[in-house]
Chains A and B, each alone.
Chain A
Amino acid sequence: MSGEPMVKIEGLWVWRRGNLALQDVSLEIGRGTFVGLMGPNGGGKTTLLKVIAGLIRPDKGKVSVVGPTRRTVGYVPQEQAVDPQFPVTPEDVVEMGLYGSLGLVPRIGARERSLVRRALDHVGMGEHAGRRFGELSGGQKQRIFIARAIVGEPRLLLLDEPTTGVDARARDSFYRLLSQLRSDLGLTVILASHDLEVVPTQVDEIVCINRMVFVHAPPEKIGESDALSRAYGCELEFMAHGTYPHRVIRRHDEPARPEVEPDA
């Protein structure tokens, strides 16, 4: 971990619809770090991101993000359940990212328009600003949502399953964009993903959760314990992969919930 923590989570417990979603989670994420949040389906990745984003209140424990959360955190949620016929342009969508910081009656002036334009240019979507949002491809929509998340100049970017359903080319392009945004804006990034093959090659640290944190370490140290296998409830192994100077994880079978006492 590098420097002062951007996010500090202490003894976090969250119940969702009567089920324990997160159990005694404690974490520190350093400024400027790129963290891959991994774990099986239903393991609490999205819940943890939403707690950090301020969308879910913890039942117990404390979450602190440096700075006022609304302006500090940019959030790109999983599965954009947006009506494709919704009559807005990408420019309108990115502008919406500013409303919270402009008060209940937002006034869009020259400064705000320039921020919107800059965010669209940052994600390479400047020339699509006036198109109908529903006409864009999945990858382009994702870029617009990232532009919307960064338009308020956040310090922390939370991405929930951003590469689900995109092809390998769009995925590579996404990681290049993320790398550029991190260096341009000095962002701390937490990315939740199922992608056991690619994520470890991109991030500085991996946090593996399945209701509780099983491991928090740099990718190269992940293989030193069996924590990942315990989190997924199945055998996982590291293997050399191609010419890249890294290792990837091969999943053997279906994930399962770990045996934990819900009210320990």
Chain B
Amino acid sequence: MLSEMIHFPFFQRALLGGLLVVVMLSLLSFFVVLRKISFAGAGISHSALGGVAIGLALGVNTTLTATLFCVAVALAIGFISRGGHLAEDAAIGIMLAGTMALGIVLLALSGGYASSLFSFLFGSILAITATDISVIAVYCASIVTLVLVFFKPLVCASFDEELAQTAGVPVAFLNYLLLVLISLAIVASMKLVGIILVSALLVLPAATAYQLAQTYRKILVLSLASGVLSLLAGLVLSYRFDLPSGATIVLCACGIFALGFAFSPKRRKKAQTQGG
């Protein structure tokens, strides 16, 4: 099936774009799960709708406005959670609802409410263009490079902020950097999987890997493998059964997570220990 599909140019573009997105999101999902900030990921991804709608309303590039808007929301979440001005989940919940509502109102005012909304919410991986792939490639290269450069300090700050601070690690800078990278990855991925489903791919790859591995090196490898497998399986199944691609990819990622959870050596070991 895959060998047959690979001859179609639209599928080649979907595969290439999908791989770039999966690499970015799987790498970042490692930190999202490690730091337990999946709700922040969901908040930033939903706010992308506000950014896109501003672009449409002003008649400027939506990727640019979505990027600026998501980065601003990410920095605001970081500032609020660090400053202790408001509980982090409350701040994210307010921003998620407020920015999404802004997006819906602006889309309705600009006249393209139903079609635009569905496309941004759920994405259309099979409709991406070569230009889309170039943009995603630039985002992906920047994100992967920055994560790899700051990988060790990011792990250190995720392990224990106070200890990292005592050792002289710039914890605040790293926290903001991670949130900005997450928002860039969300903007780059939204055309493919949509802003609703992108937050799932920011969690599922690493959550699956955590079930199966115990060192961060293995978790990273398994996270990437799980992301790529979800993409391939999702694309094939969506083509074969004429299903929405983004949602099918996420469902495959959920299925792989369920398998990982069922066969998790960690979970079985814990169950054995508790059972005496």
Contact = CB atoms under 8 A, between A and B. Distances in A.
Q: Is the interface of B mostly helix, strand, loop or mixed?
A: helix
A96 B169 CA distance: 9
Interface residues of A, number: 34
Interface string A212-236: 0000000000000000000000000
A82 to B, nearest CB: 5
A100 B169 contact: yes
Contact of B165 (A55, A92, A93, A95): A55
B162 interface: yes
Given A88-B159, A96-B164, 7 more contacts: A53-B166, A87-B210, A89-B215, A96-B159, A99-B153, A99-B164, A99-B169
Nearest to A86: B159
Contacts, number: 80
A55 B166 contact: yes
B160 to A, nearest CB: 5
Nearest to A96: B156
B211 to A, nearest CB: 11
Contact of A98 (B34, B155, B163, B167): B167
A45 interface: no
20 contacts: A55-B165, A55-B166, A70-B168, A77-B163, A77-B166, A80-B160, A82-B160, A87-B34, A87-B215, A87-B216, A87-B219, A96-B156, A96-B163, A98-B167, A100-B166, A100-B168, A104-B153, A105-B149, A105-B153, A132-B214
Interface in B123-163: 149-150, 152-153, 155-156, 158-160, 162-163
Contacts of B158: 86
Given A88-B216, A132-B214, A99 B167 contact: yes
Given A77-B162, A96-B156, A148-B163, A104 B150 contact: yes
Contact of B159 (A82, A98, A100): A82
B182 to A, nearest CB: 20
B159 A54 contact: no
A81 B216 contact: no
A75 B168 CA distance: 11
A85 B269 CA distance: 13
A106 B153 contact: yes
A73 interface: yes
A39 to B, nearest CB: 21
A99 B219 contact: no
B169 to A, nearest CB: 5
Contacts of A43: none
Interface residues on B, range: 20 to 34
B93 interface: no
A132 B219 CA distance: 13
B158 to A, nearest CB: 8
Contacts of B160: 77, 80-82
Given A93-B159, A148-B163, A101 B216 contact: no
B26 to A, nearest CB: 15
B170 interface: yes
Nearest to A149: B166
Nearest to B165: A55
Contact of B166 (A54, A88, A98, A105): A54
Contacts of A71: 168
A98 B218 CA distance: 23
A97 interface: yes
Contacts of A73: 166
Contacts of A87: 34, 210, 213-216, 218-219
Interface in B176-207: none
Contact of B162 (A55, A95, A97, A148): A55
Contacts of A82: 159-160
